[in-house]
Chain A
Amino acid sequence: MRNLFAFFRRFRVFLIFVILQVIALYSYFSYIAYPKSQFLTTTNSISGSLLSARNNVVKHFNLEANNKALQLENILLRRRLPESFMKIENETFKINDTIYEEQYDYIAGEIVNATLTRKNNYFTINLGSIQGIETQMGVFSDNGIVGRVFYVSEHYALVKSVLSENINIDVVIQPAGIKGILKWDGNNPNVGYISGISNDYKIKNGSQVITGSGSGVFPKGLPVGKVKKIETVEGKPLWDVHIDFSEDYRKLQNIYVVKNRLQKELEKIEFAIPSDEK
């Protein structure tokens, strides 16, 4: 027993180092897999309000560019209004409510904090459970997709951005409609890639990449980026397609969260697939 105490006394510095190190690394690796509490994330109220205060100052720096982007979007939307079309035939713009049911709701918000140099980058947004945000909802901006909601607190939410290793958003390469899964290599915040596309497809550089509607997270057709270059995977009949993101995540401020009204229904119907056939 005395030997044991002597041992602890002798190596107490090293033991304390190891214990604290284990706490830190355990919390890091378990958070990456699945978030448990909001203590160590920017969604807790202290860091949330600190970052909001910072954002209140910084957001004015890009005010002009942001206003311009919003104006352009307004013009685009205004163009689609029935009022901006000339009536050629009286029946043309009769909206029948039983044919169109609204599927997607959008909630506008702002990014209060973002990292870009990490392996997995998270954005903090100023929307929380009060505004009806839930985990796994899609987040996008005027120019492209941003990510998926990862963790929600009362007033803030953490978005796992497109700039993360395992983001896996399903996308479609136009015009051929080739389906693929978007990934990021952890290096350049402007470039993502789509892996594992069968090499019998012909893909041109510069083709548009948009979201697919398979998972119901994003409405179909949101811009993602453009094909930059195509590489063959060694030893397999597959292509890695590198894409240039259409959004510059370094300047991003205004975002929208997608709420799919039919998500529960979609999950329920897919849950009916027997688990051994998935």
Chain B
Amino acid sequence: MNLIIKHSVRFLILGLVQILLLNQLEIGLGIQAMVYPLFILLLPIDLGTIPLLIFAFVLGISIDAISNTFGLHASSLLFFAYCRPLFLKIFSPRDGYENIKEGDSYQMGFLWFLWVYGGLLTLHHFWFFYMEVFRFDEILFVLQKTVLSVPVSFLMAFILQILLVTKPR
């Protein structure tokens, strides 16, 4: 029960930050900051991929409904969720995730967070910007947007994570 409330609060906060704050932000150079994938990363590690996909679809569609993207956020977040088990496997610690509930930077360390979340975020952003344009001749512009947006999104997600995740004592 406690777990459900905790994740619902994160769902709401990340969704609202994205809709009310980041969607209105116009930095220039095609930079678009997206923090909501953090919700999927912070879901329990032992959660199956199917519930993960369903949560991703629900969060993505809710953001789409308010930012006039008609399904683009849902599509890229699904890709993020689908790749999460793969990344968790590649970067798993030596003795597995036995006593670890969630993949935040307190429990796993900053380096793990950088590789896993940074990697997934790059895939997510590339998928998002590529699907938005959907033309191969603009691939350079897509890459520019991805390369510039990922650090901004990552930094914001890292700050939000400090606010959302309480340090285990």
Contact = CB atoms under 8 A, between A and B. Distances in A.
Interface stretch (B2-10, B64-72, B118-126, B158-166): B64-72
Interface string B52-69: 011001001100111111
Nearest to B81: A17
A27 B69 CA distance: 10
Main SS at interface, chain B = helix
A44 B64 CA distance: 12
A156 to B, nearest CB: 11
Interface string B32-49: 100000000000000001
Contact of A31 (B31, B70, B82): B70
A47 interface: yes
A51 B61 contact: no
B131 A42 contact: no
A28 interface: yes
Nearest to A57: B20
Interface stretch (A92-100, A110-118, A207-215): A110-118
Interface stretch (A18-26, A79-87, A129-137): A18-26
Contact of A117 (B30, B72, B78): B30
Contact of B131 (A28, A58, A113, A158): A28
B141 interface: yes
B158 to A, nearest CB: 21
Contacts of A50: 19, 66
B68 A115 contact: yes
A189 B68 contact: no
A25 B26 contact: no
Contacts of B1: none
A54 B20 contact: yes
A115 B23 contact: yes
Given A17-B53, A17-B82, A187-B141, A24 B68 contact: no
A88 interface: no
A16 interface: yes
A13 B19 CA distance: 29
A32 B20 CA distance: 23
A13 B78 contact: no
Interface string A1-43: 0000000000011001100110111111101100000011110
Contacts, number: 95
Contact of A16 (B53, B60, B141): B53
Interface residues of A, number: 40
A105 B70 CA distance: 32
Interface centre among A17, A25, A114, A187 (most CB of B within 10 A): A17
A114 B75 CA distance: 21
Contacts of A26: 71
A119 interface: yes
A250 B50 contact: no
A59 B140 CA distance: 37
A119 B129 CA distance: 9
A25 B131 contact: yes
Contacts of A115: 23, 67-68
A31 B64 CA distance: 12
Nearest to A39: B65
Contact of A24 (B65, B67, B78, B132): B78
B74 interface: yes
Contacts of A119: 132-133
B79 interface: yes
B71 A25 contact: yes
Given A25-B71, A118-B69, A20 B57 contact: yes
Contacts of B57: 20, 23-24
Contacts of B30: 117, 187
B65 A47 contact: yes
A16 B71 CA distance: 16
Nearest to B26: A116
A35 B139 CA distance: 27
Nearest to A38: B65
7 contacts: A13-B49, A13-B50, A26-B71, A31-B70, A44-B65, A51-B66, A250-B26
